[in-house]
A = this chain, B = another copy of it.
Amino acid sequence: MTTTATPSYDALTATWLRLYRLGHLQSMASWDQAANMPPKGNTARGQALAEIAMLTHGMRTDPALKDHLARAKDEALSDAQRANLREIERNWFAANALPAELVERRALATSRCEYAWRTQRKANDWAGFAANLKSVLEVGREEARHLADRSGLSPYDALIDRFEPGMRGATIDRIFGEVKQWLPGMISRITARQASETTLAPQGPFDRAAQRALCERVMRVLQFDFDGGRLDVSSHPFSGGVPEDVRLTTRFRDDEFVQSLMGTIHETGHGRYEQNLPRELLGQPVAEARSMALHESQSLAFEMQVGCHPGFLGNIAPLIRDAFGDQPALATANLQRLLTRVQPGFIRVDADEVTYPAHVIMRYEIERGLIEGRYEVDDIPALWDEQMMTLLGVDTRGNFRDGPMQDVHWPEGLFGYFACYSLGAMYAAQWFATMRRQMPDLDAQISAGNLAPVFDWLRENIWLQGSRWTTDELAVRASGETLNPAHFKAHLEKRYLG
């Protein structure tokens, strides 16, 4: 055994390296569960995943770690090591902040609520759902208080911090407050302008093998590394696996290919972030993706900034026609209209990039009020109806299924998550505003089929940075400022009203 000057730091990194390696097996088993597993494997899979979760939880809550964390702070660490220690401590805090009995009650409440929700949603059964959600909210409030007591943050901030470290409700309030000022007016102007456009719907059926080949072809255009990842099919698309072996999923319908293609482009953004995290530190928390909003800034950079870019679309439209044969709806100009069609609707995950923030803002405001005790579960439908009418002009009364019952987040107790989606869209706009400032010919390059400037910038400024910096530091280093929603507004104005 060699002795080092940083024994506690080394003990911590050894533990987290083991956790990383065991996490690999968890990730793969979870991916397989969604992409491959036949139904009769589910019970055994659940037991296996519970077993290793218990085991890794035991490693993260080993009492010896607390002393190591305290002592490591006084050890002679490099800046990178200190950043890693900060991330190790965040990870440790997440595992140790809650008493075991609360974790267990949380698991029971959320699994009961989520399981019942699957059928209650179809039946539009708000009353049944609300009864379970009340238990989830109760545990969520308790969780928030616990995390707040131990972190010194406010309860809701403590929940946000799990997903978006450093982000505060006050900041989101300011940002979303601005968006609410201009968004309804912008939506009206855009829909008025688009009312006179004619957009053709592509006519299926679209062969699934051809759809899959198209998706993989576009992933190659987006430089996804198939030697370090795959595309498969699951009922809910996601980006899984590990940085060394990224497993993306999509789903196909016979009558439609656009959702699957754009969904694949979205997941490819997540996937390339993972594939390009800093290799020399892989296995340590500092090498992990920075946050949920940053991750979403990559998927939306791919889906919205690049994927819906007219120059990019001009390059992949021939691939689309090559896959399915030509038809008027597959003309490049029509595809462009199809991808930038703005239409207020009920469903968040189906929303276009202009109306999407409205869905997020109202969820954010409602869940914040729920956690802070200003609202109760029974208040949700009225709040929902009012906000949907105000922000999107959509009447949701009585339609719980396509209203407050549409998302899995609340049944799963994921309070503090929703804002990340729109923060991600805003970060993505900010990255592209920065690129255009630094590379004035960026759009011409994209139109010419040269995506290297985009990927080089993202790799250098986001991907290779992992969790080396706080999100604010990373944003300033990359773009000269912290999150600034003006770039998102400018992006929408240019694309939809320019």
A interface residue numbers (CB < 8 A to B) = 18, 21-22, 24-26, 28-29, 32, 36-41, 43-45, 47-52, 55, 225-230, 241-242, 244-245, 282
Contact = CB atoms under 8 A, between A and B. Distances in A.
Contacts of A49: 25
A39 B228 CA distance: 7
B25 A230 contact: no
A25 B41 contact: no
Contact of A22 (B36, B37, B52, B242): B52
Contacts of A22: 48, 51-52, 55
The oligomer's copy count stands at 2
A228 B39 CA distance: 7
A32 B47 CA distance: 19
Contact of A244 (B21, B24, B40): B40
Interface centre among A28, A47, A49, A55 (most CB of B within 10 A): A28
Interface centre among A37, A48, A229 (most CB of B within 10 A): A48
A38 B242 contact: no
Contacts of A21: 44, 47-48, 50-52
A244 B41 contact: yes
A229 B38 contact: yes
Contact of A18 (B40, B43, B51): B51
Q: Which 10 A-B pairs have the closest CB atoms?
A: A41-B245, A40-B228, A24-B48, A21-B51, A44-B244, A25-B25, A21-B48, A40-B227, A41-B244, A21-B47
28 contacts: A18-B51, A21-B44, A21-B47, A21-B50, A21-B51, A21-B52, A22-B52, A22-B55, A25-B25, A25-B49, A28-B28, A28-B29, A28-B32, A29-B29, A38-B227, A38-B229, A38-B230, A38-B245, A39-B227, A39-B228, A40-B225, A40-B227, A40-B244, A41-B228, A41-B241, A41-B244, A44-B282, A45-B245
Contacts of A241: 41
B44 A242 contact: yes
Contact of A38 (B44, B47, B52, B228): B228
Contact of A242 (B36, B41, B227, B230): B41
Contacts of A228: 38-41
Contacts of A37: 245
Contacts of A26: 25
A43 to B, nearest CB: 7
A247 to B, nearest CB: 8
A213 to B, nearest CB: 14
